[in-house]
Amino acid sequence: MAAAVMILTGCSTTFRHAQLPQNGQARIPEIQIDPATGVSSLELSVLIYNVAGLPWPIGCGKASRTVDEYGEKIPIACNRSAALRAIGDSLGKLRRQGLEPDIVMLQEAFISAAAEIPVRAGYPNWVTGPGVSDLGLKYSGRASQNFIDERSFWKGEKLGKWQSSGLMLASNFPIKVVYKHPFNQWECAGFDCLANKGLLVAEIEVPGLPYHLRVATTHFNSRGRSGVSSERALIAHNLQLDEARDFLRTIINRDLPFIWGGDLNMRNSNDRLVYFVETSIFRINEVSAFCSAYPEDCETQFEWRSDAPWQETQDLQGWVPGNQISIMPLSMEMLFDDPVDGIMLSDHDGVFVKYRLSWPVPSNLSPVSPEIR
């Protein structure tokens, strides 16, 4: 434990991105107009990806969920800086082919090489989430006194923040407004408390779209990797969901279409999933639920392994339509899901979704996603 803390204290990175607004523009979407209805639409794409940008040697030896021909889990690259640079180069290759995601939202972008990803990938605009010193309140009235009193030094809960939120967002389109909101300092569990987790929200000016597009990413408290009981980790997860919900309520603008995604740490956890759905201020439209239910509307490049794919992953993406702008997923695929020279670049896959945004809202609205449970 002491060695891990020493490593973390020596590896905290502060990223400095360009001041806002950032007005770079790498692509102009084509506007389609339906001659029968007069409805305008454009297409854009979003990638979410936990890049495992962890300080050495924490990321070394981690296994991905991808298995080899013998059924063994394939390890991730031990040199995390080199892996992050390879991720940036891969996105840059997609750009040269005209296939790059328009918006990229990263989690666990902790170490300095993470800042090279948007640069290597050719994104003109990028921002980061709460830094290591952008601290929230210690705790809120939602946290019980027992939860606060039972914080453990040995599990990393009384050592302060040694890493940033690890959140990063890059865009082909101008980033006009950014909100960075850390979770409350003590409303976390186990070694997750060493990172200053929170929310990163951005308003993006998509050329041709009559309103800004709002996007958000986050990374909630883990379960087993936190090093504490599942019960304590669940309480922390719920507290962070509450904090995220209450913050989003303060900036809510129903006119703006909204796309969200990140590492929500809810895989195979019905308690977490139910709380996420039941306490949301928005109707939960989740992409894998939509695409698996409506394959005629949403193309996928893989086979579904179950009828509840949202339960099989930590990484979820979804949307909330604006009052005047509808959103519909057109396709979903996984990126970075194959090994490179026998190793994976991260222990997560990237979730890549193409959307159509239409305005004014068509009278024949696209179907919403089934409720996730």
pLDDT tens track for 65-121: 888 888 888 999 899 999 999 999 999 999 999 999 999 999 999 999 999 999 999
- Quick check: 229 pLDDT over 60? yes
Among the ranges given (6-20, 43-57, 317-331), the one the predictor scored with the smallest mean pLDDT: 6-20
Averaged pLDDT for residues 122-128 = 99
More confident residue, 334 or 368: 334
Q: Taking a C-beta distance cutoff of 8 angstroms, is the pair 134, 200 a contact?
A: no
Query: From start to end of 124-220, where are the E strands?
Result: 125-128, 168-171, 175-182, 198-204, 213-219
Is residue 366 one of the residues assigned to a domain? no
Per-residue pLDDT band for 10 (boundaries 50, 70, 90) equals very low
The parent domain of residue 305 ranges over 2-359
Q: For 284-311, b where at least 16 C-beta lie within 10 A, e where not — what string?
A: bbbbbbbbbebeeebebeeeeeeeebbb
More confident residue, 13 or 153: 153
CB atoms within 10 A of CB 225: 12
Is residue 96 one of the residues assigned to a domain? yes
Which CATH number do you get for residue 50? Answer: 3.60.10.10
How high is the pLDDT of residue 70? 87
pLDDT digits (tens, 9 = 90+) for 150-159: 999 999 999 9
More confident residue, 309 or 29: 29
How high is the pLDDT of residue 364? 60
**How many domains is the chain built from?**
1
Is residue 369 one of the residues assigned to a domain? no
Side chain identity, residue 87: I
- Quick check: 234 pLDDT over 90? yes
Is residue 365 one of the residues assigned to a domain? no
Per-residue pLDDT band for 366 (boundaries 50, 70, 90) equals low
- Quick check: 331 pLDDT over 60? yes
Is residue 373 one of the residues assigned to a domain? no
User: For 274, how many CA atoms within 13 A lie in the half-sphere containing its CB?
Assistant: 4
How high is the pLDDT of residue 214? 99
Among the ranges given (5-19, 66-80, 322-336), the one the predictor scored with the smallest mean pLDDT: 5-19
Is residue 368 one of the residues assigned to a domain? no
Averaged pLDDT for residues 202-229 = 96
Q: What's the rounded Cα separation, in Å, for the pair 35 and 217?
A: 36
Residue keyed to tokens 């996603």: 369
- Quick check: 280 pLDDT over 50? yes
Local structure of residue 104 (DSSP, 8 states): E
Token output for 187: 């409303």
Averaged pLDDT for residues 288-315 = 90
Per-residue pLDDT band for 350 (boundaries 50, 70, 90) equals very high
How high is the pLDDT of residue 243? 98
- Quick check: 164 pLDDT over 60? yes
- Quick check: 6 pLDDT over 60? no
How high is the pLDDT of residue 7? 46
Per-residue pLDDT band for 12 (boundaries 50, 70, 90) equals low
CA 20 to centroid of chain Cα atoms: 21
Averaged pLDDT for residues 304-308 = 83
Q: Taking a C-beta distance cutoff of 8 angstroms, is the pair 255, 360 a contact?
A: no
Is residue 372 one of the residues assigned to a domain? no
Q: Taking a C-beta distance cutoff of 8 angstroms, is the pair 129, 180 a contact?
A: yes
The rounded mean pLDDT for the chain is: 93
Token output for 261: 């995604």
CA 219 to centroid of chain Cα atoms: 7
Per-residue pLDDT band for 303 (boundaries 50, 70, 90) equals confident
Is residue 364 one of the residues assigned to a domain? no
How high is the pLDDT of residue 80? 95
pLDDT digits (tens, 9 = 90+) for 141-150: 999 999 999 9
Angle between helix axes 270-278 and 230-250 (nearest 10 degrees) is: 20
- Quick check: 2 pLDDT over 70? no
Nearest to 298 by CA among 329, 320, 342: 329
Nearest to 41 by CA among 338, 325, 369, 253: 325
Q: What's the rounded Cα separation, in Å, for the pair 127 and 118?
A: 10
Q: Taking a C-beta distance cutoff of 8 angstroms, is the pair 11, 164 a contact?
A: no
Q: What's the rounded Cα separation, in Å, for the pair 8 and 167?
A: 17
Among the ranges given (13-22, 120-129, 280-289), the one the predictor scored with the smallest mean pLDDT: 13-22
Q: Taking a C-beta distance cutoff of 8 angstroms, is the pair 88, 112 a contact?
A: no
